[in-house]
C-alpha cells in the first residue's frame, strides 16, 4: 500500500498546503489509485504529482464540507476531457449524488466514462475478496465518516524445495498447490498444497478519518491498524475550541492512536494558523504521547 498526500490544510488553502485530499494505492504493483476527499484544486495538485486522474478508480468522500468536496466536479470533468474511458466509483454521505449531478447539470457538463455514485451508511461499503472498506460515522456537525481499509490475508510461502524433494517439478502444479489445492501426480500420489504452505500472511490495514471530535466510534474503526490518518486541526491547549467545531487536537489524536494500538499515526488537516514551524510544534505534541507520529505534508509519499 502507498499513500500520497495532495492536501493537508483545514478549511482553507495556505501558501504551503492545499485543502484535504489523500490518494491510496491499495494493491501491490497496481497503477490504480483511490482518492479520499477532493478539496478545491485537487486536480491541480494531481498535475504536480506522479498520479494521473485517469488512474483513479474510486473516490471516497468523508463529508460534504467544501474543503473536502469542492474539487470534485472539476476533477470529474477534466478526467472526461482527457478521454479516460475507465469507470469511476464515488462513495460518500447522503447528498453526494445530488451534489455531483447538479454540478454537472447546471454547468452543462458530463462524463465520458461510466460513473457510479453510492450514498453510504455505516458498515462494509466495498468488498471484492481482496480489499474491504468499512465506514463509521464520527463526531462532526455534518455527517462525517471514517474509513477502514483492509487487505485480505495472503497465502503463506510455498516450500518449493520440499516439493521438489517430493518429486514435484516446478510448473503449473506449483500454482495450484500455492492456492492450497490437492493435486494428483502422474505416479498416482496425492499432494496436498496445504502441507507445503507457510503460515498465512496478515494483510495491511489502515484507517483514514474525516473531520471529527473525539468519539468512541473512532476507537473501533482504528483498532490495531497499521496506519491511522487523523486530523490534528489545533494544538492541545485549544481543545475546547477544536471540539466545539467537531475537530480534534494533537493530544486527542495521539491518545486515540495509543489506545487503539495502531502502528503509525499520520497527522493532517492543520489549521491555517500554523506555518511549517508551527506544524513541527504540533508534531512534538503528538510524539510526546505517541512516539510513532508523523507529520503529513502536501506531496508527501508513505509506504505501508
The set of catalytic residues is 67
| Shared domain check, 91 and 38 | yes
- Place 191 in a pLDDT band, splitting at 50, 70 and 90: confident
- Domain shared by 31 and 178, yes or no: no
> Does position 87 have pLDDT exceeding 90, yes or no?
yes
Confidence class of residue 18 from pLDDT cuts 50, 70 and 90? very high
Q: What is the CA radius of gyration of the chain?
A: 22
In the chain, the percentage of residues whose pLDDT exceeds 70 is 100
One domain for residues 94 and 61: yes
* Of 55-59, 114-118, 185-189, the least confident: 185-189
Domain containing residue 114: CATH number: 3.60.15.10
User: At residue 33, does pLDDT exceed 80?
Assistant: yes
Residues 145 and 261 in one domain: yes
Grid cell locating 35: 482518492
Percent of the chain surpassing pLDDT 90: 82
Count of other CB atoms within 10 angstroms of residue 139 = 17
pTM of the model: 0.90
- 53 with 80: CB under 8 angstroms? no
Answer yes or no: do 149 and 262 share one domain: yes
Instruction: Clarify whether residues 186 and 272 are in a common domain.
Output: no
| Domain interval for residue 187 | 160-196
Is the pLDDT at 155 greater than 80? The verdict is no
- In the chain, how many domains are there? 2
- Choose one of 196, 224, 248: the last residue of a domain: 196
Average pLDDT in the 108-121 region?
Answer: 97
Q: Where are the beta strands (DSSP E) in the chain?
A: 2-7, 21-25, 33-36, 56-60, 88-92, 115-119, 123-127, 131-137, 145-151, 182-184, 190-192, 205-209, 227-231, 264-268, 293-295, 301-303
Looking at the structure, tell me whether residues 298 and 268 fall in a common domain: yes
Residue 157: pLDDT over 90: no
Same domain as 192, residue 75: no
Cβ contacts of 18 within 8 Å, gap of 6 or more? 6, 7, 8, 9, 39, 40, 41, 42, 44, 45, 298
How many helices (H) does the chain have, and how many strands (E)? 9, 16
Mean predicted lDDT score pLDDT of the chain: 95
Residues 83 and 172 in one domain: no
In 3D, which of 211, 217, 227, 207 has the Cα closest to residue 39?
A: 211
Query: Does 30 share its domain with 167?
Result: no
Same-domain check for residues 38 and 185: no
pLDDT (average), residues 168-194: 84
Q: Which stretch of 16-30, 108-122, 189-203, 224-238 has the lowest confidence by average pLDDT?
A: 189-203
Q: What is the dihedral of CA 7, 13, 14, 18, to 10 degrees?
A: 20
Tell me the mean pLDDT in the region 47-75. Answer: 97
pLDDT given at position 183: 87
Q: State the pLDDT confidence band at 207, using cuts at 50, 70 and 90.
A: very high
Indicate whether 236 and 101 sit together in one domain: yes
In this predicted structure, the answer to whether residue 31 has a pLDDT above a threshold of 90 is no
Q: Please write the tens of the pLDDT for every residue from 254-286.
A: 999 999 999 999 999 999 999 999 999 999 999
Amino acid at each position: 500500500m502507498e499513500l500520497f498526500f495532495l492536501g493537508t490544510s483545514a478549511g482553507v488553502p495556505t501558501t504551503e498546503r492545499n485543502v484535504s485530499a489523500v490518494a491510496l494505492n491499495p494493491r501491490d504493483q497496481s497503477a490504480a489509485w483511490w482518492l479520499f476527499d477532493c478539496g478545491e484544486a485537487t486536480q491541480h495538485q494531481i498535475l504536480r504529482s506522479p498520479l494521473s486522474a485517469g488512474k483513479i478508480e474510486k473516490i471516497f468522500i468523508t463529508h460534504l464540507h467544501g474543503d473536502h468536496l469542492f474539487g470534485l466536479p472539476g476533477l470529474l470533468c477534466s478526467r472526461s476531457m482527457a478521454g479516460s474511458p475507465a469507470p469511476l466509483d464515488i462513495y460518500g454521505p447522503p447528498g453526494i449524488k445530488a451534489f455531483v449531478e447538479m454540478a454537472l447539470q447546471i454547468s452543462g457538463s458530463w462524463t465520458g466514462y461510466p460513473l457510479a455514485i453510492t450514498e453510504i451508511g455505516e458498515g462494509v461499503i466495498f468488498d471484492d475478496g481482496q480489499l474491504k472498506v468499512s465506514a463509521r460515522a464520527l463526531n462532526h456537525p455534518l455527517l462525517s465518516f471514517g474509513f477502514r481499509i483492509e487487505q485480505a490475508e495472503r497465502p503463506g510461502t510455498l516450500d518449493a524445495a520440499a516439493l521438489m524433494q517430493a518429486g514435484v517439478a516446478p510448473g503449473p502444479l506449483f500454482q495450484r498447490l500455492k492456492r492450497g489445492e490437492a493435486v494428483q501426480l502422474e505416479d498416482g500420489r496425492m499432494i496436498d498444497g496445504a502441507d507445503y504452505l507457510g503460515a498465512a500472511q496478515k494483510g495491511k490495514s489502515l484507517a483514514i478519518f474525516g473531520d471529527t471530535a473525539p468519539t468512541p466510534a473512532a476507537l473501533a474503526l482504528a483498532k490495531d491498524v497499521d496506519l491511522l490518518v487523523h486530523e490534528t486541526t489545533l494544538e492541545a491547549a485549544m481543545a475546547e475550541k477544536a471540539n466545539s467545531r467537531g475537530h480534534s487536537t494533537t493530544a486527542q489524536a495521539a491518545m486515540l492512536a495509543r489506545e487503539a494500538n495502531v502502528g503509525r499515526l499520520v497527522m493532517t488537516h492543520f489549521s491555517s494558523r500554523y506555518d511549517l514551524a508551527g506544524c513541527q510544534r504540533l508534531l512534538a505534541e503528538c510524539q510526546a504521547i505517541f512516539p510513532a507520529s508523523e507529520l503529513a505534508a502536501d506531496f508527501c509519499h508513505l509506504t505501508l
